Structures are given as C-alpha cells and as structure tokens.
C-alpha cells in the first residue's frame, strides 16, 4: 500500500469534520475522494499533505507512519484549486523551483524541466510567464511542477473546478493520460461525481465526515451500498415503501403495490425501505398494456427535451417523482403512465439501518 489513511478524525472546535475515515491507495492507482461541499474532503487531503494535524488517526506512506512528519519531507506533491505558480517566474523556472532544493546538478535539472514540460505539452511555453497562459495551460504547468520532483503521491485538490465544462473535460482526459504515463499514485479530490467517475480507478465517497462507500466507479454506480451513494452517483430518483410480502417480493408504496416476480429480500415484512432506480433503467409504458416487468403507476408532471433524449418526470404519489430517460415521442404532461423497470435494477435500502437490502432470485 503506497498511502494508507487509518482511523482519521478531525475536530474544529466542537465540530467533528472528519469521523473515523480509513482508506488506502495502491502504488500507481488513481483514487478519487468525492463528496458534496463540506463533507470533509479538504480536511482529509490536508491531513495527508501534512498541513492539518488530525485529532486522531494515522497517515502512512510506503508503510511508514508520517503523521508527525513535516509536509516538505513527505514526498507528496499537491496541486490546489487556485493557482500557486509564481507570477514573476517563467513556466520553466516555476517547474525548476519544485526540484531546486534537491541538490540536482543544473544540466540534469534542465533535462527534468524539459521532460515534464513535454509531458504536459507546454514545451513551447517554457519562457512564458503564468499570466500569459490560458487557464488550462496554467493547470498543466502546475502539474509539471508537482511531478518534476517525482513524488511518491500526487494530491489533486479540486484542480478542475474553476474551469468551464469543455476545458474541464479536456483537462481531465489529460490528467488521466499523464497519470497513466507517469504511474504516479494519485488522490484526486472533487465534489463532482462525473469527474470522479470518469477519472478514477476507485472512488471513496464521503458524506458528513464519514465514508459512505468505496469501490470501482461502475460497481458503486450499479450496486450502491447505501442511499447516499445511490443518489450522489447519478441522479436522485427515489421513493419510499414498505416490504409487504415475501416471494414474490411486494413493496407497498403509498396507494400502490409493486410486485417483483422471482425475487426475495433478506428483510422481514413491514421493513420500511428507500427505493432507488437510475433514470436510464426506467421505461415509460402505456398503463393499459400489460407488462411482465414490475411497474409503478403515475402521472407525467414534466417533459424536458435535453437533446439526445427526453427526461420525463412522473409523479408517483406521496410527493415522490421519478425521472425516466426516454428516447423518442415522449408522453404529454398529465398523461397517466406506467413506469417499468427490471427487478434487478431496483436498489432497496433499509431505512432504519441505511444498508442495502439484498435481493435474491427465487
Ligand atoms: N479551519 C476551519 N475551522 C473551522 N471549521 C472548519 C475549518 N475548515 C473546515 N471546517 C468545517 O469542517 C467541515 C468540513 O470541511 P472541509 O473543507 O474539509 O470539507 P470539503 O468537503 O472539502 O468542503 P469544500 O468542498 O466546500 O471545501 C465543514 O463543515 C467546514 O465548515
């Protein structure tokens, strides 16, 4: 394990900002620490960098405890959200600055600067000042400066959040390429689930100072461990219900009973559940035509044309609304519809315990 965060907690006065967070990153892995604003990401990353001394817990690098080691001796480079390039220095001098203190001879240093500017496609801007660069070029210059000292771990703290969408997507592809080419162990911190899912080998999802789930992006998306991960990775698409029967599984949701044939759940009748289903897993049907799929009845409340598809919002009772992605010829507002889904696309969470309910095929 290249980086291990073990039982990390941090208080600011009375507020417990980080509560017993543990995760690890293997050598060469890119892990995204992702969660909404205020969930504690910055506190975790600053503890790893050495700028915050955690109230409890331990940070280990290459198996060695570095919790008390000063930031400059940890072998960690950080790229922050806002630019920290020195404005009076050229791009080349900024990159050289990162390795200046290492006692490397000038010729070798010059080569390292050149190699890293090439890596981030900025060789021609070597003599430019930061003010002459575009926003994306400045980010790349910071990456070059962070990577030139060959850090053991690279921390990227919201490096894309100040950029517009097109540039953000382009730069995140660049970061993925650079990380692959250098193989540097990377912790990427973001509040943006799309950036996190697009970039990371693995996600650590935080909410309210705790880890809400971790795993490969696709696994977490398709099999969320709890209701927070289900609605944070993708769109919140939930309704409440109670288990009303065993095999086939039945869920009472408001006035309706949804039947899931060939499925059993590992919880007793009467268990209250939060049900989640991704918009792309829902299909809109004519309510008068029988379907073999489980479905829930509702009335269309909104239809949004979002380009390649329509987002159809359906009120399903009890104030709950579900959004279904629909390819063509959408229904009209106020139409009565059935919203159908495959039984294995419905994610159920025990409302009291917050855990995922396992559905078993019968
Ligand atoms: N220096 C501080 N003093 C007091 N409270 C703080 C301090 N820094 C952070 N907090 C509080 O700790 C909690 C976690 O903050 P933190 O910045 O770690 O979260 P975050 O997920 O990085 O949020 P953001 O994306 O908004 O920066 C928040 O409630 C925040 O108000």
Q: How far is the CA of 227 from the centre of ligand 1 (A)?
A: 23
Domain 235-361, CATH: 2.40.50.100
- Architecture field, domain 3-228: 3-Layer(aba) Sandwich (3.40)
Q: Which residues line ligand 1 (CB under 6 A)?
A: 12, 15, 17, 35, 37-43, 191
For ligand 1, atom 12: residue with the closest CA: 17
- Residues β-bridged to residue 337: 298
Regions of the chain with pLDDT less than 50: none
Q: What is the pLDDT of residue 1?
A: 73
Q: How far is the CA of 150 from the centre of ligand 1 (A)?
A: 29
For ligand 1, atom 2: residue with the closest CA: 12
Q: What is the pLDDT of residue 129?
A: 96
Best probe residue, ligand 1, of 8, 9, 14, 17 (max atoms within 8 Å of C-beta) = 17
Q: How far is the CA of 18 from the centre of ligand 1 (A)?
A: 9
Q: How far is the CA of 279 from the centre of ligand 1 (A)?
A: 32
For ligand 1, atom 7: residue with the closest CA: 12
Domains of the chain, by residue range, sit at 3-228, 235-361
**Of the candidates 74, 66, 127, 357, the residue with the CA atom closest to the CA atom of residue 230:** 357
Per residue in 166-218, pLDDT (tens digit) is 989 999 999 999 999 999 999 999 999 999 999 999 999 999 999 999 999 99
**Ligand 1 nearest atom to the CA of residue 158, by list position:** 25
Q: What is the pLDDT of residue 290?
A: 85
State which H helix or E strand residue 139 sits in: helix 135-147
Q: How far is the CA of 40 from the centre of ligand 1 (A)?
A: 6
Q: How far is the CA of 35 from the centre of ligand 1 (A)?
A: 12
**Ligand 1 nearest atom to the CA of residue 36, by list position:** 21
Q: How far is the CA of 209 from the centre of ligand 1 (A)?
A: 10
Q: What is the pLDDT of residue 101?
A: 65
Per residue in 69-116, pLDDT (tens digit) is 999 999 999 998 888 899 999 999 999 987 876 677 888 889 999 999
Best probe residue, ligand 1, of 11, 12, 48, 155 (max atoms within 8 Å of C-beta) = 12
For ligand 1, atom 4: residue with the closest CA: 12
> Angle at which helices 91-100 and 106-119 pack, to 10 degrees?
120
Q: Are the C-beta atoms of residues 273 and 348 closer than 8 Å to each other?
A: yes
Q: How far is the CA of 33 from the centre of ligand 1 (A)?
A: 14
- Cα–Cα distance measured from residue 52 to residue 103, given in angstroms and rounded to the nearest whole number: 28
The DSSP result for 261-292, as a single string, is TTEEESS-TT-EEEEE--GGG-EEE-TTS--S
Give the pTM.
Answer: 0.91
The average confidence (pLDDT) of the chain is 92
Helix (H, G, I), strand (E, B) or coil at 167: helix
**Ligand 1 nearest atom to the CA of residue 43, by list position:** 18
- Is the N-terminal amide bond of 300 cis, ω within 30° of 0? no
Q: What is the pLDDT of residue 151?
A: 93
């Amino acid at each position: 394990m290249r980086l291990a965060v073990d039982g990390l907690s941090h208080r600011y006065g009375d507020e417990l900002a980080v509560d017993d967070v543990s995760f690890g990153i293997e050598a060469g892995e890119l892990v995204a620490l992702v969660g909404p604003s205020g969930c504690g990401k910055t506190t975790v990353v600053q503890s790893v960098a050495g700028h915050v001394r955690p109230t409890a817990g331990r940070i280990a690098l290459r198996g060695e405890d570095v919790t008390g080691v000063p930031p400059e001796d940890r072998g960690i480079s950080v790229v922050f959200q806002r630019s920290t390039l020195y404005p009076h220095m050229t791009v080349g001098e900024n990159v050289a600055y990162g390795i200046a203190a290492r006692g490397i001879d000038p010729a070798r240093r010059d080569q390292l600067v050149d190699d890293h500017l090439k890596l981030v496609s900025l060789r021609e801007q070597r003599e430019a000042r930061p003010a002459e660069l575009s926003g994306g070029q400045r980010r790349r210059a910071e990456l070059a400066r962070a990577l030139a000292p060959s850090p053991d771990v690279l921390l990227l703290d919201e490096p894309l959040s100040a950029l517009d969408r097109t540039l953000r997507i382009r730069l995140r592809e660049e970061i993925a390429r650079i990380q692959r080419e250098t193989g540097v162990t990377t912790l990427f911190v973001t509040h943006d689930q799309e950036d996190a899912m697009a970039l990371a080998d693995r996600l650590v999802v935080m909410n309210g100072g705790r880890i809400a789930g971790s795993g490969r992006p696709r696994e977490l998306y398709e099999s969320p461990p709890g209701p927070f991960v289900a609605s944070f990775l993708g769109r919140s698409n939930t309704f409440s219900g109670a288990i009303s029967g065993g095999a086939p599984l039945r869920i009472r949701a408001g006035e309706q009973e949804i039947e899931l044939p060939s499925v059993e759940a590992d919880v007793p009748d009467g268990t209250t559940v939060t049900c989640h289903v991704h918009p792309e897993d829902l299909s809109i049907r004519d309510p008068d035509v029988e379907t073999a799929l489980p479905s829930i009845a509702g009335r269309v409340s909104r239809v949004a044309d979002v380009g390649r598809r329509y987002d159809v919002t359906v009120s399903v009772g009890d104030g709950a609304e579900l959004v279904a992605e629909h390819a063509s010829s959408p229904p009209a507002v106020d139409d009565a519809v059935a919203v159908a889904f495959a039984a294995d696309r419905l994610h159920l969470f025990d409302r009291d315990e917050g855990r995922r309910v396992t559905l078993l095929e019968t």
